[in-house]
Amino acid sequence: MADRPTEAQHPSSHGLHAVAAEVALSRLLAAQEAALQAVRPALGAIEAAAEAGATALRNGGRMGYAGAGSSGLMALADCLELAGTFGIMPPQTPMMFAGGAQALLHMTGAVEDDPALAQADFAAARIGAGDVVICVSASGTTPYTMEITRAAQAAGASVVGIANVPASPLLQAADIAVLLDTGPEVVAGSTRMGAGTAQKVALNMLSVLVGIRLGHVHDGYMVNVIADNAKLADRAARIVGAVAGVDRDAAAAALARAGGGVKPAILVAKGADTEAARAALAASGGVLGPALLTSDQRNRAQPA
């Protein structure tokens, strides 16, 4: 373990305990900024991972996440956001987190070494052929995550491996390897820092591209948002208004007619009836852009 870059001493760590707070924070910020630069060389791999995830979801499959400790928390944060942001429901995006919900209140290291726990979590996730599992491990060696990797591939699923150590076992085993080479941490081995930052950014980008590919993002708006609270209901109305070019009242009325669905509400606000709106979206595979073109063409064809 001492040979791992994430366990080595960072140049900015010398005397960290004795410097002024402003100096310590400046060093920490500089290390975080450097970690972000480790994401750029991985853009091609992140794109491949997103395409694989979108394909699995489009075909009715699953895009699962797996990890332990800090890496697991980064994966979990991304996984939990998919339902509200993109309308991708939890059964489609199972989370395999070492220790489960209990570990969120008190993380213990032992759970990440338990292959039986990984096997049980994998079985509960119901991953199978054609699915994708995003496995995240800073070291690329975490036993829990490696066991999930083996189980996923044995079940016919593809594995996206995200790790911060070059040529690590996870990256070597993965079908799509995403290397985020962040190097040593200012606090040696504390991969919640630079490694975690790079992981979070990479996962953000991956899942947003999945949302785009599934047609859940249009002009930067989350057009498949699940409006289950007042803030999101207001956001849904603003999205409908902005994309359809109507005022707040017309947007709210369209949402009501469309049963709260933002995509069909946009088409309704532009003059389609609800049945035609849903038919256009079905024909476009749920992608709003082509459905809008169809709706606009239909409107132009109608006599004045």
Known catalytic residues are 81, 112
3-state helix/strand/coil string of the chain: CCCCHHHCECHHHCCCCCCCHHHHHHHHHHHHHHHHHCCHHHHHHHHHHHHHHHHHHHCCCCEEEEECHHHHHHHHHHHHHHHHHHCCCHHHCCEEECCCCHHHHCCCHHHHHCHHHHHHHHHHHCCCCCCEEEEECCCCCCHHHHHHHHHHHHCCCEEEEEECCCCCHHHHHCCEEEECCCCCECCCCCCCCHHHHHHHHHHHHHHHHHHHHCCCEECCEECCCCCCCHHHHHHHHHHHHHHHCCCHHHHHHHHHHCCCCHHHHHHHHCCCCHHHHHHHHHHCCCCHHHHHHHHHHHHHHCCC
